[in-house]
Structure formats: C-alpha cells, structure tokens
Amino acid sequence: MIPRKAQVRLVEALQEFPAVAILGPRQVGKTTLAKAALTRVFPEVVYLDLENPRDMLKLEDPLLFFEQFENACIVLDEVQRRPDLFPVLRSVIDMNRKPGRFVLLGSASPELLSTASESLAGRIAFLELTTFCIHELPAPDDIGLLLRGGFPDSLLAAQDAASFRWRDAFATTYIQRDLPLLGLPLNPRESYRLLRMVAHLNGQVLSYSSLANSLGVTSPTAKRYIDFLEGAFIVERLEPVAGNLGKKLVRSPKLYMRDTGLLTYFLGIHTREAMFGHPHVGAIWEALVHHHLRSVLPVEVERCFYRTSGGAELDGVLQWPSGKRVGIEMKWGASPRISRGNHEALETLGAEKLYVVIPGSERFAVREQVEVIGLLPFIRLVESWVEEAGA
C-alpha cells in the first residue's frame, strides 16, 4: 500500500470530531485509507459495508447496534445507501460525543452532503480523498499520471493497455450503476454522451447554452447536469478572479475533468504516443496541475483563473488570506513561451511571481518574476507555503 497524504488529516479529524466522513469516487481508496489509519488509533474497529445484505441486517435496529459498540470506532461504508441513518447518528453522538466514534465512507451526492451537514452539524468533519498525486508516489511519473490518472488500479497497472481496460470497466460500471444510484436522471447512453462532451470541453470556458444545444436540453438542465457531475467528483468548475480590476473580465467558469485518466479515456486516448500528439494534450496537462493544487491547498486559499476579452490571461491564480498572490501557467513542453497576455495579467493582478509548470523536474528562472518549474518541485513548493501559513 502506498501511504496517502490524507491519512494525517484523517487522524487529526478523528481526534477532534465524533464523526468523520471520507468522501470520494468509487475505487479511489477510501476503505483502504480508513482501515490503515483506524487500526493504529483505535483498539476496536467495527466495519459495516452497506452494500452487503448481511451487514445491512445488523442495522435493522441501528440504535441498538450503535449502543452495543459504544466504545468502538464504527465504519459505515457506502453510507449514501442509508441516508436515514443520519438522524440516528445525531442522537447517538449527542449521548456520547467522544471523538472518533463514527467514520462514514461514501460517494458524494447533493442529497448526501445536505442530509449529513444538516443532521450532524458541528459533529462531523468532511475529508475528501482524491486520486493519487505525484508527491505521494515512490517513483514519480507525471507522464504516467497524465495518461492513466490517479485511481490506484489504473495508475499501478502493469501496462498502459491494462490501465485502459480498467478505466473502460470502471467507466461502464459508473455509468450504468453508480451515476443512476447517485441520482443522475439519464440513461447509460445519454450519460456516456454527456461525459464525452465534458471531456472535449475540458479546460475551456463553460457555456451552458452551447452544452445545452449539443445535448438537446435547456440551459438550466445542462447546468444541473454539471452540478451533479461536480458533486460526484467527476468535474470541477474553476471560477474566474473576482473583483473590479478595470478590465473586461471573463465571468464564466472553466470546466475541468478531475481525473486525467478518465479524461484520456473519454477522449479515446489509449497510448502515450497518441497522447503526445493529441490536440487536447495541453488542456489535459492543465487538468492534472489543477488536480494537484486542489489536493494540497487548504480551503482558505482561493484558486481561480484570469482572462480578459483583450487576451490577458493566466491559467491559475492563488490568493492567500494574507494577501499573497501568485500566478500560474501550465505549459506542455520543455521550452515554454510566456506571452504578452501573461505579463499583462501578472502586472494587473499585482502577483508577486509567475510559476510556469511544465512536465519533468527542472526548475529555472526566466526573469526576476517568472520561474519555470516541474510539477513535482512545484507541488512541494506549494506544500511548503501551506506549512508556513499554518505555522
């Protein structure tokens, strides 16, 4: 097992909250993470899989079951199957608010998050487990991550062909079973078509009307589909810089698929050779860098992008509560060019520096305010900023 960075945050949350929810898509490693962390912290752990009929029978009287194991840490896997348990959990926790009583594992849906947040407000901490990032790997390989994504079985497959076959099986199961269970009101053929369209929109400014026209639905319906996919950890909307900067700013969000392995799958990319020559490879690289930033940054750091109608733009902007602001460009290639629009954006935003993130591990200055940096050293640099801010 490859240790996950999230394990430290999980142990901290278990020491503070009666309940901790670990959310993320299927096959991302939530159960593995929970079992690895809990066995080191609690003398007794009770694990229930709510997709297992035998375990479901144990919860015919959930209050009785929870009281029977009052001194244990109880893990409820696939908790989205039993939203009716949340009021019971609130009652049990209020009788004994000992930290680490419950660990809830599940795929997110708007209904699950809403129910859990309302029923267990002040009693639960939410932890998202993302797919693997480069700084978690014993042998960092940004090209492998780019093609295969970060799902463990895909990333660690013996060959690229085996990785693609795993993603094909995963996508088929997700489309046919999981998305309907989470509440997406589409049949499998429509879901596949939607995800293919989303893959081709990766890295672009999102137009709900254009997406709606392609799908043959209304703009509000297209927006609901994107809302759902975001809640299911499939896509992310990156918002533009807010505020009055005296420029004609783009106000719509950019759309990214969160796992590049699923992105390359829905784009039909099977091999590294095909990826290198693909017209979307630059946008795939953007998605990978944004995935890493999302994984390491705390919620108080605002991550956005900057673009004006006049051509000034930055792929990413990080804004810290302290006022620290840096610009980010994601460039596919070892010899990136910085445009006039990048320099204009940097000046307008008053950012202290521009980091140009490229594949590999090199790091060198282009000029005083501009530094080219590989993905791994950049993520380690961002982690050092997070540590400094928390000190």
Most confident of 124-128, 179-183, 245-249, 263-267: 263-267
197 pLDDT above the threshold of 50? yes
86 pLDDT above the threshold of 60? yes
The domain boundary residue, chosen from 85, 107, 128? 128
Do 156 and 257 sit in the same domain of this protein? Answer: yes
Q: What does the pLDDT average to over 289-299? A: 95
CB 86: neighbour CB atoms within 10 A? Answer: 20
Do 153 and 30 sit in the same domain of this protein? Answer: no
Do 73 and 103 sit in the same domain of this protein? Answer: yes
245 pLDDT above the threshold of 80? no
The packing angle between helices 208-215 and 219-231, to 10°, is 100
Do 192 and 299 sit in the same domain of this protein? Answer: yes
The boundaries of the domain holding residue 211 are 134-390
Q: What does the pLDDT average to over 229-247? A: 86
Give the pLDDT score at 181.
80
Pair of tokens at residue 112: 């699950």
Do 142 and 120 sit in the same domain of this protein? Answer: no
Q: What does the pLDDT average to over 41-54? A: 92
315 pLDDT above the threshold of 50? yes
Do 68 and 174 sit in the same domain of this protein? Answer: no
Do 139 and 203 sit in the same domain of this protein? Answer: yes
* Rounded distance between C-alpha atoms, residue 342 and residue 284, angstroms: 20
Do 264 and 312 sit in the same domain of this protein? Answer: yes
The domain boundary residue, chosen from 67, 101, 128? 128
Give the pLDDT score at 176.
92
Quote helix, strand, coil % in the chain, to nearest 5. 45, 20, 35
The residue among 311 and 199 whose pLDDT is bigger is: 199
Q: Considering the domain boundaries, does residue 325 fall inside one?
A: yes
* Rounded distance between C-alpha atoms, residue 58 and residue 48, angstroms: 9
Give the pLDDT score at 206.
97
Do 196 and 217 sit in the same domain of this protein? Answer: yes
Hey, what amino acid is at 179? L
Do 219 and 316 sit in the same domain of this protein? Answer: yes
* Rounded distance between C-alpha atoms, residue 205 and residue 203, angstroms: 7
Give the pLDDT score at 184.
86
88 pLDDT above the threshold of 80? yes
Do 339 and 355 sit in the same domain of this protein? Answer: yes
- What total number of domains does the chain contain? 2
The domain boundary residue, chosen from 113, 128, 143? 128
Q: What does the pLDDT average to over 20-31? A: 91
Residue 342: which CATH number? Answer: 1.10.10.10
Do 74 and 11 sit in the same domain of this protein? Answer: yes
53 pLDDT above the threshold of 60? yes
Give the pLDDT score at 110.
53
